[in-house]
Amino acid sequence: MASGTHPQHQSGLLTRLPREILDKIYLEIWRTCGLHQHILFHGKGPGGKDQHFCRWECCTEYRVDDPLQADVEKLRARLDVPLGTDIRGTQPPEIGMYCRRLMSPWMDHWRCGERATQEHGIEAISSYTTSDINCWRTWKDNRPDDLHVSSWSPYLPMLLTCRLVSAQCLKSIYESITFIFTDLRSIQAWFGYCQLRPEWKIVFEGHITPPAFHKYARSFELSLDPDFGRSFICGNIIRDLPKAEHPHDGYDFHWLHLSRFNNLCKVKIWVNARSKTHRFDSKEIVFGIKELDVKAFTKSLSSFEDIASVTISSPLGPSFEPEEGFVKNFALPNVTLYKRGSGDKFHPWLNLINDRPGSYHNNLIHTCRTGQVRLAINGGNHHVMREV
């Protein structure tokens, strides 16, 4: 080889194939482990040295309707249980299965949680959120000895191949993958935050958004609690911070930092009909998404005006028509808004999933005559979210 020749530049793969063909090859490589990936912020904290991001392949296609509610309705009709009466018991076994799905911290991605449970154990779903202080992908307690756990992916091998391939693959990965987030802790650690009180710095400082995410990412999906507006660091009381006299409004979606993206073109959001994230006092009044009327909701979505396609599925208040279905003539032409009624008719006991087969709450589904959005109170009870 002649002196001064760069071996990477002599590769037939890099010099003879056009970039369009290379991108198709890379896409097929990423496809081997899924083009939809959950991003989860795990680790012992706060401030623990083990804090890290995990990925988990998504196996749930985004839908604006809720097939789980439809499944429970079929079960209720088959058992001839009147609305307003609890469905309970261990027979048929679907009661326990649907109850666990309703309780899942993975929300509309409960299928992904079930697959994680099959491979990693009950820790994957036995928390209030999908981010927890324990990483269930490395958790070994109570795991069967013969359980096969595979953490292989093609990402690092391709990124470590050589500098030229790494640069091409980094761009291809972030352009090709849809990033999915099912809890606010992961969102804030990945997307970034506004301001931090001193006690939160040990949790989030040092975690920065991957630069390639803002530069190349084309799509992401979010699953949110119905009271997500109060759940952000900057949405809590921050009067001890300089230049911060009032909590920030989470319903303006400023926390997504959409102006930082260069190529974002698709966003999908699911707003759940229940929340276990906060354990409210029984007298506490909580503002939620059903209290936004059409005008306020349109204003809250103004930050999405430069995104080509935005899809939102949420319970909404009575000012939105129809009672259930796509909201027509919405003011923002790039936003597809689907109203899942005023909430769910079927809810679980709002507490943690446990693995005790005989537990009463593992086999209990509350039913109600009209759709409700429920927020947990300590002890497994709930508030019903107000609406306008």
The percent of residues above 70 in pLDDT, for the chain, comes to 80
Greater pLDDT, 160 or 292: 292
Pairwise CA distance, residues 35 & 61, whole Å: 11
| Residue 20 pLDDT grade (very low, low, confident, very high; cuts 50, 70, 90) | confident
Dihedral (C-alpha) 355, 377, 204, 140: value to the nearest 10 degrees? -10
pLDDT digits 0-9 by tens, 136-154: 887 654 444 443 344 578 8
Greater pLDDT, 215 or 241: 215
- Tell me the CB-side half-sphere exposure of residue 290, using CA atoms within 13 A: 25
Residues 313 and 335: beta-carbon distance below 8 Å: no
pLDDT averaged over every residue in the chain: 84
What is the reported pLDDT for 5? 47
What is the reported pLDDT for 242? 52
Rounded to the nearest 5 percent, the helix, strand and coil shares of the chain are 35, 20, 45
What is the reported pLDDT for 281? 60
What is the reported pLDDT for 72? 98
Q: Give yes or no for residue 238 having a pLDDT over 50.
A: no
pLDDT digits 0-9 by tens, 58-91: 999 999 999 999 999 999 999 999 999 999 998 9
| Residue 264 pLDDT grade (very low, low, confident, very high; cuts 50, 70, 90) | very high
